[in-house]
Amino acid sequence: MARYRGPKTKIARKFGEAIYGEDKSFERRKYPPGQHGNSRRRKSVSEYAIQLKEKQKAKYTYGVLERQFRKTFEKANRKEGITGTNLLQLLESRLDNVVYRFGLANSRRQSRQLVSHRHIMVNGDVVNIPSYTVRVGDVVSVRERSRTLLVIEENLGRSTTLLEWLRFDSSQFQGEIISMPEREQIPENINEQLIVELYSK
């Protein structure tokens, strides 16, 4: 199961924003990583470099590697509508992301582990594939025997803002996908148009 396992703050500093959520280390050092990170002179950046950086930011944010990301883009490109919005919708509808959005995990890494360890069900069936695509009307729930897990109890105790396209019942440990998210309902700071331009070359 391939995924990025390296230091999170280093990546956040590379992009100049806390893409993995709250990060005390990032708040202390907001300049790029490396020996000369704080004193590095700003060189003129090419259009390609800007597009590539945006694609890498999206990959690290959702925890997807290059091959899978390209496949997701190709799928988004085949769908009707705006390719960039389709891409973000497909990334948002990954099971590990939905579990994170429900507030069952405090990060996408943690939600990915919950899915992989067979704690999550979709429509009553156990699904252990983090990249599984949920659809409108699907019910995502925590397995009966996993509801007493400390990590789930702690995360449900935190106050999280639920997005408009989701519905969650904490007493039943289950949530439902009401609709596919519109672009303005996705809070990630990603310029998807730059990614479309990069892959269109």
Q: Can you give the pTM of this predicted structure?
A: 0.85
Domains, the chain, ordered by start: 8-90+188-199 (1.10.1050.10), 94-179 (3.10.290.10)
Q: Which residues fall within 8 angstroms of residue 114, CB to CB, at 6 or more apart?
A: 99, 104, 105, 120, 151, 152
Residue 28 pLDDT grade (very low, low, confident, very high; cuts 50, 70, 90): low
Residue 12 pLDDT grade (very low, low, confident, very high; cuts 50, 70, 90): confident
Contact in structure between 101 and 166 (CB atoms under 8 Å): yes
How confident is the model over 70-86, as a mean pLDDT?
A: 95
pLDDT at 24: 64
Tell me the per-residue pLDDT of 109-158, one tens digit each, with 9 for 90 and over.
999 999 999 999 999 999 999 999 999 999 999 999 999 999 998 888 77
How does 86-124 read in b/e, with b if 16+ C-beta sit within 10 Å?
bbbbbbbbbbbbbbbbbbbbbebbbbbbbbeeebbbbee
